[in-house]
Amino acid sequence: MANSVSIRKLSLSFGAVTVLKDLNLDIRDGEFIVLLGSSGCGKSTLLNCIAGLLEPTEGQIFIKDRNVTWEEPKDRGIGMVFQSYALYPQITVEKNLSFGLQVAKVPKPEIDKRVARAAEILQIGPLLKRRPAALSGGQRQRVAIGRALVRDVDVFLFDEPLSNLDAKLRSELRVEIKRLHQSLKNTMIYVTHDQIEALTLADRIAIMKNGVIQQLDDPIAIYNKPRNLFVAGFIGSPSMNFLRGELIETGGKTVFRTNGVDFSLDGYEANGPLAAGRQVVLGLRPEHIGIDQPEADRELHQAVVDIEEPMGADNLLWLKHAGHTMSVRIAGARRYAPGSQVRMSFDMRLASLFDAQTEDRI
Amino acid sequence: MANISTLNSTAAGFDAVSPQVAGPSGRKPRKVLSRRNIILYGLLIVAALYYLLPLYVMIVTSMKGMPEIRMGNIFSPPMEITFEPWAKAWASACTGLNCDGLSRGFWNSVRILVPSVLVSIAVASVSGYALANWRFKGSELFFSILIIGAFIPYQVMIYPIVIILRELGIYGTLTGLVIVHTIFGMPILTLLFRNYFTSLPEELFKAARIDGAGFWQIYFRIMLPMALPIFVVAMILQVTGIWNDFLFGVVFTRPDSYPMTVQLNNIVNSVQGVKEYNVNMAATLLTGAVPLIVYFVSGRLFVRGIAAGAVKG
Average pLDDT over residues A242-253: 87
pLDDT of residue B22: 67
pLDDT of residue B20: 58
Tally of CB atoms within 10 A around A278: 15
Q: What is the pLDDT of residues B96-119, one digit of tens each?
A: 777 788 888 899 999 999 999 999
pLDDT of residue A296: 66
Residue of A nearest to B211 (CA): A100
DSSP code of residue A72? -
C-alpha B236/C-alpha A93 separation (Å) is 33
- The answer to whether residues A356 and A243 touch, using CB atoms and an 8 Å cutoff, is no
Q: How much is the pTM? A: 0.79
pLDDT of residue A323: 85
Q: What is the pLDDT of residues A102-134, one digit of tens each?
A: 998 999 999 999 999 999 988 888 999 999 988
Residue of A nearest to B309 (CA): A133
C-alpha B157/C-alpha B149 separation (Å) is 11
Q: What is the pLDDT of residues B43-83, one digit of tens each?
A: 999 999 999 999 999 999 999 888 888 888 888 888 888 88
Q: Which residues contact A42 (CB under 8 A, 6 or more apart)?
A: A12, A19, A20, A208, A210, A211
pLDDT of residue B304: 45
pLDDT of residue B19: 53
Instruction: Respond yes or no on whether the N-terminal peptide bond of residue A238 is cis (omega within 30° of 0).
Output: yes
Does residue B2 register a pLDDT over 90? no
As a whole-number percent, the residues of chain A with pLDDT over 90 amount to 46
- For residue A322, how far is the Cα from the chain centroid? 33
Query: What average pLDDT is seen over chain B?
Result: 83
Does residue B133 register a pLDDT over 80? yes
pLDDT of residue B210: 92
Tell me the domains of chain A and their CATH numbers. 3-234 (3.40.50.300), 241-355 (2.40.50.140)
Average pLDDT over residues A231-255: 88
Average pLDDT over residues B171-180: 89
pLDDT tier, B310 (very low <50, low <70, confident <90, very high otherwise): very low
**Closest Cβ–Cβ partner in A80, A85, A133 for B210:** A80
C-alpha B216/C-alpha B220 separation (Å) is 6
- Look at B209 and A73 and tell me if their CB atoms are within 8 Å: yes
Does residue B32 register a pLDDT over 80? no
- What does DSSP say about strands A155-159 and A58-63: parallel, antiparallel, or unpaired? unpaired
- State how far the alpha carbon of A257 is from the alpha carbons of A184, A247, A260, A284, A323, in Å: 52, 6, 6, 14, 12
DSSP string, B226-246: H-HHHHHHHHHHHHHHHHH--
Does residue B287 register a pLDDT over 50? yes
pLDDT tier, B21 (very low <50, low <70, confident <90, very high otherwise): low
Tally of CB atoms within 10 A around A204: 18
pLDDT of residue B155: 86
- The answer to whether residues A9 and A60 touch, using CB atoms and an 8 Å cutoff, is yes
Residue of A nearest to B307 (CA): A89
Indicate which of B211, B222, B228, B311 best probes the interface with A, i.e. most A CBs within 10 Å of its own CB: B211
Average pLDDT over residues B10-19: 49
3-class DSSP state for residue A261? strand
pLDDT of residue B6: 46
- The answer to whether residues A86 and B207 touch, using CB atoms and an 8 Å cutoff, is yes
Tally of CB atoms within 10 A around A315: 19
pLDDT of residue A143: 92
Q: What is the C-alpha end-to-end distance of chain B, expressed in Å?
A: 33
Tell me the domains of chain B and their CATH numbers. 1-30 (no CATH), 36-82 (no CATH), 103-310 (1.10.3720.10)
pLDDT of residue B23: 73
Give which of A246, A260, A253, A257 is closest to A357, Cα–Cα: A246
Give which of A341, A338, A133, A320 is closest to A243, Cα–Cα: A320
- What does DSSP say about strands A253-258 and A314-321: parallel, antiparallel, or unpaired? unpaired
- The answer to whether residues A10 and A22 touch, using CB atoms and an 8 Å cutoff, is yes
Residues on A contacting B at a C-beta cutoff of 8 Å: 48, 51-53, 72-74, 78-80, 82-91, 99-100, 103-104, 131-135, 137, 140, 144, 147, 151, 164
Average pLDDT over residues A225-243: 91
- The answer to whether residues B82 and B143 touch, using CB atoms and an 8 Å cutoff, is no
C-alpha B269/C-alpha B255 separation (Å) is 15
Does residue A2 register a pLDDT over 60? yes
- The answer to whether residues A65 and A236 touch, using CB atoms and an 8 Å cutoff, is no
Calculate how close chain A gets to B201, using CA atoms only, in Å. Answer: 7
3-class DSSP state for residue B54? helix
Does residue B257 register a pLDDT over 50? yes
3-class DSSP state for residue A208? strand
As a whole-number percent, the residues of chain B with pLDDT over 90 amount to 34
- The answer to whether residues A231 and A207 touch, using CB atoms and an 8 Å cutoff, is yes
- The answer to whether residues A97 and A133 touch, using CB atoms and an 8 Å cutoff, is no
C-alpha A186/C-alpha A33 separation (Å) is 11
Q: What is the pLDDT of residues A263-320, one digit of tens each?
A: 888 888 888 788 888 899 999 999 988 888 877 677 888 899 999 999 888 999 999 9
Does residue A19 register a pLDDT over 50? yes
pLDDT tier, B41 (very low <50, low <70, confident <90, very high otherwise): very high
Specify which of A64-73, B225-234, B266-275 reaches the highest per-range mean pLDDT: A64-73
- The β-bridge partners of A361 are A354
Chain A hits for B207, CB-CB cut-off 8 Å, are 80, 82, 86-88, 144, 147
Average pLDDT over residues A28-45: 90
Q: What is the pLDDT of residues A192-218, one digit of tens each?
A: 999 999 999 999 999 999 889 999 999
Crossing angle (nearest 10°) for helices B277-299 and B35-62: 130
Does residue B179 register a pLDDT over 80? yes
3-class DSSP state for residue A123? coil
Chain A hits for B220, CB-CB cut-off 8 Å, are none
Q: What is the ipTM of this complex?
A: 0.84
Q: Residue B290: which H helix or E strand, with range? A: helix B277-299
- What does DSSP say about strands A78-81 and A155-159: parallel, antiparallel, or unpaired? parallel
Phi-psi region of A189 (alpha: psi -120 to 50; beta: other; left: phi over 0): beta
C-alpha A128/C-alpha A134 separation (Å) is 11
pLDDT tier, A62 (very low <50, low <70, confident <90, very high otherwise): very high
Of residues A322 and B106, more confidence is placed in B106
- Look at A135 and B217 and tell me if their CB atoms are within 8 Å: no
Q: Which residues contact B222 (CB under 8 A, 6 or more apart)?
A: A88, B204, B205, B208, B213
Phi-psi region of B272 (alpha: psi -120 to 50; beta: other; left: phi over 0): beta
pLDDT of residue B309: 35
- Look at A86 and B309 and tell me if their CB atoms are within 8 Å: no
Q: Which amino acid is at A304?
A: V
Calculate how close chain B gets to A159, using CA atoms only, in Å. Answer: 10
Give which of B209, B205, B216 is closest to A76, Cα–Cα: B209
pLDDT of residue A267: 82
- What does DSSP say about strands A32-36 and A58-63: parallel, antiparallel, or unpaired? unpaired
Does residue B14 register a pLDDT over 70? no
Average pLDDT over residues A21-47: 91
Q: What is the pLDDT of residues B141-157, one digit of tens each?
A: 988 988 888 888 888 88
CA atoms in the 13 A half-sphere facing the CB of B116: 30
- Look at A80 and B204 and tell me if their CB atoms are within 8 Å: no
- Look at A74 and B210 and tell me if their CB atoms are within 8 Å: yes
Query: What average pLDDT is seen over chain A?
Result: 89
Of residues A47 and B23, more confidence is placed in A47
Residue of B nearest to A48 (CA): B206
Q: What is the pLDDT of residues B200-231, one digit of tens each?
A: 888 999 999 999 899 999 999 999 988 888 88
Of residues B307 and B219, more confidence is placed in B219
Does residue B124 register a pLDDT over 60? yes
Indicate which of B140, B203, B206, B210 best probes the interface with A, i.e. most A CBs within 10 Å of its own CB: B210
